[in-house]
Structure 1
Amino acid sequence: MPTDSVTPVAATGMYTTPPTRAPKQTMDGEMFMHLLVTQLQNQDPSSPMDTNQMISQSTQLAMMESIATMTTTSEENFSLQMRGVAAALVGQQVSYYGQDGALITGTATSVSYAGPVPQVIVDGKEIPLDLIAGINAATPGDPGSGDDGAPSSGGSGTDGAGTGATGTSGGAA
């Protein structure tokens, strides 16, 4: 069986230039370590870096990473708090300002967590949680408020027959 020869293909420039790196806009641990390694590689052999300086820089790196971790944790906690607040609004009468500036009141029926800010569904419209202007107190007779508008049946302290709250008779001893 004869074999066909393969003709060489010239490079089209795909790897002829080294890839360029986009500059970072934030300081992070990787950038700090890169600077420290570069500093150690380029130091003067006759006067090496002071060990106290190196320890100080390493401590600063550890502190920076701890602060970055705390920031991330804080952002996650805030996001969870927003979700909890949004969930607590379901079934409540809420107010928000419409595009025309008028105050609109409606019932929050559900919540969507699809975006970075929870969306509260008020009478079929998605309203971002941060645009909710207030929560309205339930008025007597509102469904779901537990109050049917009738006076409560709690005791008044006397039963109308002269008996006090302690159950003793109002007569002479």
Structure 2
Amino acid sequence: MATVHFKGTSASTAGELPALGSQAPSFELSQTDLSRINLESFKGKKLILNIFPSVDTGTCAQSVRTFNHEAAELDTTAVLCISKDLPFAQNRFCGAEGIENVIMLSDYMNDNFGKDYGIRFIDGPFEGLLARAVVVIDKEGKTVHSELVSNISDEPNYKAALEALYNG
């Protein structure tokens, strides 16, 4: 369990992010067209998992914009932006913002992703949503970087994630 802060309150997550060097937990999430996709669909690619509570908040939206910009330059990498938002809301956001270089995925159908990655809030004002985190996975499916953002209103360390991607 980890603790994240928001406006003077704290909230706990369901567990811990995957350990560095460990095999990334498998997942199955919904795409914006409601089809399902899993980790194995990205075999042989490097992945950045940009995880956040809701695309309808300023910080979360900015993380999607930033990774969308960075992803335009990444050939062998997929950037997965993951929240519990409904796929319809994710699709609306991408259309309005011109987001084309990331893959929006939703964990709305079950809590498996949030539990398996240890980032589902189990209490506090965001209970049930996903904490803000970044996980970088190499081509072999190993975790090479992870960051749980300690204050939910802060952005992740984009530079550290990108450096891990290039070095991993």
So what's the TM-score if we normalise by structure 1? 0.23
Q: Decide which structure has greater strand share.
A: 2
Structure index of larger Rg: 1
Whose RCO is larger (CA < 8 A, sep 6+)? 2
Normalised TM-score (structure 2): 0.24
